[in-house]
Amino acid sequence: MAGAPTPSLLDQPVTALPGAGPVTAARLAERGLERIRDLLSFLPLGYEDFRTLYPLPALARLPEGQAVVVRARVARVRPFFRRLLDVYLEQDGVQMRARWFRPNAGMVKTYAKGSLVALAGILRRGKDGSPEIIHPRNVTALLLAQEASGTESGLGLRPRYPAVEKVPGRVIEKLVAAAVEQAAALVPDVLPEGVAKRLGLPSISEALREVHRPEASLPDDRLAELMAGQAPAQRRLALEDLFVVQVGLALERGRARRANGWHCDVDGEAALASVRAALPFVPTSAQERAIRTLYADLGSATPMQRLLQGDVGSGKTAVAFAAALLVARARGQSLLMAPTEVLAEQHGRTLASWGGKVGLRVAVLHAGLAAQERRRVLGGVAAGAIDLLVGTHALLEQGVRVLRLALAIVDEQHRFGVRQRVALRRVGGWIPDQKTGMVPHLLVLSATPIPRSLALTAYGDLDLVTLDQSPPGRQVVATQLCVGEAARREALAAVKAAVAAGGQGFVVCPAIVEQEQGESGRRASVLPRFRELGPLLAPARVGLLHGQMPSDKQQAVLAAFRAGKLDVLVATTVLEVGVDVPAASIIVIEDAERFGLAQLHQLRGRVGRGGQASSCFLLTGAQDPETLDRLAFVAATSDGFRIAEEDLRRRGPGEIYGENQTGLPGLWLRDPSGAAALVESARREAEALLAEDPALTSPEHAALRQTIEIRWLRRRPIAEEAG
Ligand code: ADP
Ligand code: MG
């Protein structure tokens, strides 16, 4: 077959479109929007309905947040230097304020008193309750043109795209519209023929057109579907995404099956004895069982595909350690990828101290590393002088070369995208290794059970092993639901008391900075909380930890906490994964309703690790029974698996495992069973296709092959990677 397909308009840079200069292009590129193809797959988050022209008096009856178009005369103009421009429109005795920040000089002229203008925007209410629009779009000319041409008035449905830093929404809208106009028809259909039709779904070109540029004449029920993320066009795009992932996974799986694993032909019992010698505790029988299972996998010549599932605190790290030790005995190297730097550091420290006793050489790699240290680590790994490299997704960066990669371990799997997980096995260009046909073993760690449909989406097939037992002496964390201000004060008093008794604790907030939150008021955020709690909890020493702090700062704070130099950490969800400080015995979670159930359970798992009685306070200002019921469930349940099931039942997997690979997140959220059915269809179709054409070599699958390379491998063609 001929080499690369002819480059089409789809592969042209966005600068090929009118209105995208080099500066805009650079900003778009940061968001991964480099080619016209990328713009087409940049899907709207929702839609604004600008189809109705509202008279000003009607605005009083509309809810805030409604998209509106108005046309009225300018009654008053109030510029505040260059900072602000207020324009008041009036119609039938009712006024509405339009406000622009940093207006340009020409605008004052545009809005001369008495002129008739049309504006479109999102309705808000000023302090006095009167209607206003911030930064409306001037649609005067547009409306006139429409009316002159006799088409329906109004502006139709406007897609709302995810924000791209420093690129105005209007520019994105224009560029995507141009991309759709010029290139949507060129997008190849990668679903096998008949699949879309059988499911009653449109072609990819039609689907893209409809999702980006919905018809203004859409009937209400169809519009509701679209808004809910369930329109046929959206299902089509989701199905395609799922299908591409499934085919990619199946290819990967086929390769792994045909390939060899690193054959650990060494004495497992001897290695297990070393593991026991290295660990500062006696492994539970569940841990030993899991280790033996992994040793059997690693001792076979086929690459392992294993998911190790175990509740928070069940001791998965020790099992991973044991696997890496066996591999090292067989002269192979291991990678362990963790989702945060804090966790990577912590694992690095723990594993190095265990490894030190039995000759396992451990190093850490993350983006916060100084250049010299980084070079040293990379050199060691490339030379085979490091047995286990622990890191964040920095492990996936170019430049990481592993001499004898035999085992890839992913911790807290749900925090990674499917592509990252696949990529970890490829570090150093190992899959499929051309010379040896070798594929690294894969071990995935998870505290949350994954339903079958999702496991299929995320991994294809994985064998499962479960840690069904916690280390001895673990106590159930006494969890209390606290509603309202008085209860909050009590919870904080409990923190103070715990500290006075020599304990340590956490206060968790959902956000970093204060954010205005529509109806529900302000949400707890870590910066103001930190300022507030310092004096409130005195003499307790209070520290601050959040993910936007420089990495060394985060490490320093955590180290101080570990060393007992801080009593309380006020933190964001950066705590959620893995942070292990056995002395901590109390955790307060503010605005608990903003967290998922599984997330709350993970957070709660930060305490009660040292065998002492521990407590958790779930604070909320929420009133609605559904929310309180949800929180009460977590408070009453200590079994992480049951909590995960409940979470899944209530919210759907898209929210929990919310990533692109689950198709459109909205679909999962609103229609989990429909989404699961889509996954199953995608899986079936993928299998049928590969049964026919296992390596996708037939010309009719060229487009699919290319799409997989583009989406799946992030534009590193398979050939390049293998070569
Ligand atoms: P998780 O499964 O959540 O990753 P970790 O591996 O972080 O759990 O283990 C939680 C804590 O329990 C750690 O402090 C770890 O050292 C400790 N631990 C693990 N296994 C045992 C054991 N068999 N006996 C006592 N403590 C253990
Ligand atoms: Mg862990």
List the chain domain ranges.
1-45+161-187, 47-158, 262-467, 478-637
Q: What is the mean pLDDT of residues 338-345?
A: 88
Task: Match 């807290």 to its residue by tokens.
Answer: 412
Cβ of 609 less than 6 Å from ligand 1: yes
Cβ of 446 less than 6 Å from ligand 1: no
Residues whose CB falls within 8 Å of the CB of residue 574, separated by 6 or more in sequence, listed in order:
340, 342, 545, 546, 547, 554
Report CA(313)–ligand 1 centroid distance (Å).
5
Predicted pLDDT of residue 71? 92
Burial (Cβ within 10 Å: 0-12, 13-18, ≥19) of residue 147: exposed
pLDDT band at residue 43 using 50, 70 and 90 as cut-offs:
confident
More confident residue, 431 or 637: 637
From 160-169, 330-339, 611-620, the region with the lowest mean pLDDT:
160-169
- Give the model confidence (pLDDT) of 126-144 as tens digits: 888 889 998 888 888 877 8
Closest ligand relative to 313 C-alpha: 1
d(CA 8, CA 16): 12
Question: Do 47 and 160 form a contact (C-beta atoms < 8 A)?
Answer: yes
Dihedral over alpha carbons 477, 483, 485, 486 (to 10 degrees): -70
- Give the model confidence (pLDDT) of 194-216 as tens digits: 888 888 889 999 999 999 999 87
Predicted pLDDT of residue 129? 84
Nearest CA to ligand 1 atom 21: 471
Quick one: which atom of ligand 1 is closest to the CA of 582?
14
Give yes or no for residue 510 having a pLDDT over 90.
no
Mean pLDDT of the chain: 83
Closest ligand relative to 316 C-alpha: 1
Task: Match 């696997």 to its residue by tokens.
Answer: 323
Cβ of 601 less than 6 Å from ligand 1: no
Report CA(469)–ligand 2 centroid distance (Å).
15
SS3 for 122? strand
Give yes or no for residue 435 having a pLDDT over 90.
no
- Give the model confidence (pLDDT) of 542-590 as tens digits: 999 988 888 888 889 999 999 999 999 999 888 877 678 888 999 999 9
Closest ligand relative to 276 C-alpha: 1
Class of the CATH-defined domain 47-158: mainly beta
From 1-10, 153-162, 490-499, the region with the lowest mean pLDDT:
1-10
Cβ of 473 less than 6 Å from ligand 1: no
Predicted pLDDT of residue 658? 35
Cβ of 318 less than 6 Å from ligand 1: yes
Task: Tell me which range, 246-250, 260-264, 317-321, 715-719, is most confidently predicted by mean pLDDT.
Answer: 317-321
pLDDT band at residue 348 using 50, 70 and 90 as cut-offs:
very high
Predicted pLDDT of residue 642? 82
Dihedral over alpha carbons 660, 662, 667, 668 (to 10 degrees): -130
Nearest CA to ligand 1 atom 16: 315
Q: Containing H/E element for 67?
A: strand 67-80
d(CA 508, CA 505): 10
Q: What percent of the chain has pLDDT over 70?
A: 85
More confident residue, 72 or 228: 72
Dihedral over alpha carbons 265, 269, 270, 273 (to 10 degrees): 140
**Which of 307, 314, 411, when mutated, tests ligand 1's pocket best, judged by the most ligand atoms within 8 Å of its CB?**
314
Predicted pLDDT of residue 32? 80
d(CA 705, CA 703): 5
Cβ of 582 less than 6 Å from ligand 1: yes
Nearest CA to ligand 1 atom 26: 471
Give yes or no for residue 438 having a pLDDT over 50.
yes
pLDDT band at residue 47 using 50, 70 and 90 as cut-offs:
confident
Cβ of 283 less than 6 Å from ligand 1: yes
Give yes or no for residue 425 having a pLDDT over 80.
no
d(CA 465, CA 265): 22
Report CA(313)–ligand 2 centroid distance (Å).
7
Please check whether the domain covering 1-45+161-187 is classified as CATH 1.10.150.
yes
- Give the model confidence (pLDDT) of 307-330 as tens digits: 898 888 899 999 999 999 999 999
Q: What is the mean pLDDT of residues 628-636?
A: 92
Closest ligand relative to 279 C-alpha: 1
Cβ of 585 less than 6 Å from ligand 1: no
**Which of 317, 477, 575, 614, when mutated, tests ligand 1's pocket best, judged by the most ligand atoms within 8 Å of its CB?**
317
Asked whether this chain's domains 47-158 and 478-637 adopt the same fold, the reply is no
* Superfamily of the domain at 262-467: P-loop containing nucleotide triphosphate hydrolases (3.40.50.300)
Please check whether the domain covering 478-637 is classified as CATH 3.40.50.1220.
no
Q: What is the mean pLDDT of residues 438-459?
A: 71
Burial (Cβ within 10 Å: 0-12, 13-18, ≥19) of residue 395: buried
- Give the model confidence (pLDDT) of 258-288 as tens digits: 778 889 999 999 999 999 999 999 999 999 9
